[in-house]
Structure 1
Amino acid sequence: MENQHSQAWLRAMPVVFVLIWSTGFIVARYGMPNSPPFTFLLWRYIFSILCFVLWVKWARVPWPQGRVQWLHLAVTGVLMHAGYLGGVWAAVKVGMGAGLTALIVGLQPVLTAIWLSARGGHVSRRQWQGLALGFVGLAMVVSRKLDGGIEVTPWSLTMIIMALVSITTGTLHQKRFVKPCDVRTANAVQLMAAYVVTLPIALMETEPALWNAEMTWALAWSVLALTLGGSSLFYILIQRGAAAAVTSLMYLVPPTTAVMAWVLFNEPITLVTLAGIAVTAVGVSLVVRPPKITA
């Protein structure tokens, strides 16, 4: 019975991850107007580190062994937290539309597959078709937000490209170099590295943070759900699965966010959006579906 529960949880992990990760844009809508991006992220890292350290102490789990392991975890933390989150939040803060942001970051599965192919990794024809189909669906989902009002500046474009490169490189680095270890201690080390990099940038921001109800709610959800939940699940999925299959789940985030925005903020969903959601789901299924075993 216990084994059945474990298998059921493993199958549910991708779904839970997509649902949690999709709330990131919802949180940004609440938190962004009340704080400069790197200040918000700095507080997110501080409270997340505190939660993980207390969790580690309570559970008495061992910390990663060896300086090399700590170094690799620090590199992934800088890339996947400071680089990715900092780039996305900074781009949105200076006016880049959420649709364009999601579309550019949505290139991650394609970049991952290209890198794997260049390194001799196996990406099947079916998976390439799924990646292409997923990106087409993603473009359909965010197309209603790709209008002439989007402000694209050299700074915002640099930030969002930094986010794309950071999350892609961080995922590949973790899959290749980080040895299996407890997800709580691994996340704590990653967040400590992200904090060190983010601190000097946050100190240069002149806009004060407004500690109102929206800011508090956004920060609490960012720590408890997105970092302790979403980042931990992403870490586990990378350790357990193929990089191309895991990153293809990112295609499902914008469609899920669109549904959440419709429910929470009454943002309209068009027929093109619904069609895009369906196309994206088919594309991801082609990537993550295990190959047929022939006799």
Structure 2
Amino acid sequence: MSEVSILSSGRPRSGLLAVALLVLLEAVLVICWSAGFIGIRFASDHAPIFLILLWRSLVSGLVLLPFTLTVGPKLRREHVLPQMLFGALAMSAYLGAFALAISSGVPTGLVALITDMLPLAVALLSWPVLGQALTTKQWIGSFIGLAGVLIASGRSINMGDVPVWAYALPVAGTLSLAMATLLLKRSPTNFMPVHQKLCIQCLSAAAIFAVFAWHEGGVAPIPEPGFIGGIVWLVLVATIGAWGLYYLALRKSSPARVTAVLYLSPPVVMIWAWIMFGEPLSWAMVFGLAVSLVGIIIVARAQKPQAEIATV
């Protein structure tokens, strides 16, 4: 009797611990994901945007390369090629699209809003890719989260005189990341450790960014503290940290929940920019952050139990 009671009482505790660890993982993910915007803003004062993206991806891949070759299963061609595709979709297209949009004059606030529609993009593509669809509660939570982002970021939007095609760039990048997220969930290479996936994807993205950087003016790094510091920040926090946690979160949860959590990134970016750069922080931003949190909670609670424990 005592053994049974101990076992039964241990299950809720282990379940509560798993939930707490997942929430902690998602909180750190939001911080690291937001760090990418801050790092790019800082480094863009010292170098062209595609040169920054090139060295961010290249250094990240080279840092991970020794571990990729020595820790984990032996790399095979049939395993590497799908990860190269994910690198093109999840990193090159996503990062390059929103960076090019900003450099073309699209307001940063609007770009952040569009890229944070990722849960809606995942929902849009889930049926044809995975044969799944969001529940009514998940749709409601996603729209509430989006409303919070609009409240927090809306005042920063200023359309201005920008080519119409530039506004399609962050939309295309967001759809690209959503497609990569869903394809990764069903990929036969899901057994690969996160560091191997990330290394291959970073090096693949670097090869693509090198073409744009060369067209932009050159691929040589700029020997200035600002550029070097920005690249170090982007490599350690925004790439290895953010993308590593992103893929780890996908192993512990579903694409809908993980992408819904990223709704918090624009408000976090605003708070971070207020602390680091002294940018204005209004009560609308704080309220939008709270609304986004409500939406995320609704999405999380509407999660199907089997999706919560799905692993990649």
User: If the length of structure 2 is used for normalisation, what is the TM-score?
Assistant: 0.85
Who wins on radius of gyration, i.e. which is larger?
A: 2
Aligned counterparts of 1:6 and 1:16: Cα–Cα separation in 2: 15
How many residues were matched structurally? 290
Which 10-residue stretch deviates more, 247-256 or 284-293?
Answer: 284-293
1:162-192 C-alpha deviation (Å, 9 max, x unpaired): 3212211111111121422211111111112
Aligned to 2:146: 135
Amino acid at match of 1:213: P
Residue 116 of structure 2 is aligned to residue 91 of structure 1: no
Tell me by how many angstroms 1:242 deviates.
0.9
Q: Distance in 2 between matches of 1:152 and 1:175?
A: 36
Task: Report what 1:160 is aligned to.
Answer: 170
What is the one-letter code of the residue matched to 1:202? A
CA–CA distance in 1 between the matches of 2:166 and 2:74?
36
- C-alpha change, 1:53 and 1:122, in structure 2 (3 Å) is same
Is 1:252 matched up with 2:264?
yes
CA distance in 2, matches of 1:10, 1:50: 29
Counterpart for residue 80 of structure 1: 90
Once the two structures are superposed, residues 58-83 of structure 1 have per-residue CA deviations (whole angstroms, 9 ceiling, x without a partner) of: xx312465433222211111111111
Worse-matched range after superposition: 247-256 or 115-124: 115-124
Q: 1:151 to 1:96 in 2, by over 3 A?
A: farther
Asked if 1:146 corresponds to 2:142, the answer is no
Paired residues of 1:97 and 1:151 also in contact (CA < 8 A): no
Show the 5 A alignment for 1:172-183.
Answer: 172-177=182-187, 178-183=189-194
Measured in 2, the distance between the counterparts of 1:141 and 1:6 equals: 31
For residues 165 and 43 of structure 2, the distance between their equivalents in structure 1, rounded to whole angstroms, comes to 21
Equivalent in the alignment of 1:279 = 291
Percent identical across equivalent pairs? 28
Change in Cα spacing, 1:266 to 1:108, as seen in structure 2 (3 Å) is same
Letter in 2 for 1:92: I
Q: Residue 33 of structure 1: SS of its match in structure 2?
A: coil
Structure 1 CA distance, aligned partners of 2:145 and 2:281? 18
Aligned equivalent of 2:114, options 104, 119, 125 = 104
Change (3 A) 1:209 1:182: closer
SS of corresponding position for 2:186: helix
Distance in 1 (CA, whole Å) between partners of 2:304 and 2:232 is: 44
Letter in 2 for 1:181: M
How far the C-alpha of 1:145 sits from its partner, in A, is: 0.5
Task: Provide the C-alpha distance between the structure 2 equivalents of 1:219 and 1:32, rounded to a whole number of angstroms.
Answer: 10
Q: Does 1:198 align with 2:209?
A: yes
| Contact 1:69-1:179 within 8 A present in 2 as well | no
Out of 176, 200, 205, which is 1:189 matched to?
Answer: 200
Label 1:63 to 1:191 Cα distance change in 2 as closer, same or farther (>3 A): farther
Letter in 1 for 2:259: T
How far off is 1:5 after superposition?
8.2
Q: CA deviation at 1:147?
A: 2.5
- Which deviates the most, 39-48 or 283-292? 283-292
Cα distance in 1 for partners of 2:106, 2:186 equals 33
Cα contact 1:36–1:209 (8 A) shared by 2: no
2:6 maps to none
Q: 1:147 to 1:11 in 2, by over 3 A?
A: closer
User: RMSD of the alignment, in Å?
Assistant: 2.5
1:29 partner amino acid:
R
Distance 1:146 1:184 in 2: 37
Aligned twin of 2:125: 115
1:232-266 deviations in Å (ceiling 9; x for gaps): 11111123211111111121100111111111122
Answer yes or no: is 1:70 the counterpart of 2:80: yes
- Structure 2 segments unaligned to the other structure (5+ residues): 1-13, 306-312
What letter corresponds to residue 242 of structure 2 in structure 1? G
Q: 1:141 to 1:114 in 2, by over 3 A?
A: same
Shift of the 243–40 alpha-carbon distance from structure 1 to 2, 3 Å rule, reads same
Match of 2:35 in 1: 23
Question: Following the alignment from structure 2 to structure 1, what is the Cα–Cα distance between the partners of residues 63 and 249?
Answer: 21
Report the Cα distance in structure 2 between the residues aligned to 1:3 and 1:284, rounded to whole angstroms: 20
Q: Which moved more, 1:251-260 or 1:24-33?
A: 24-33
> What is the one-letter code of the residue matched to 2:26?
P
Please, which runs of 5 or more residues in structure 1 have no aligned partner? none
TM-score, length basis structure 1: 0.89
* 8 Å CA contact 2:55, 2:221 repeated in 1: no
Q: Distance in 2 between matches of 1:205 and 1:242?
A: 38
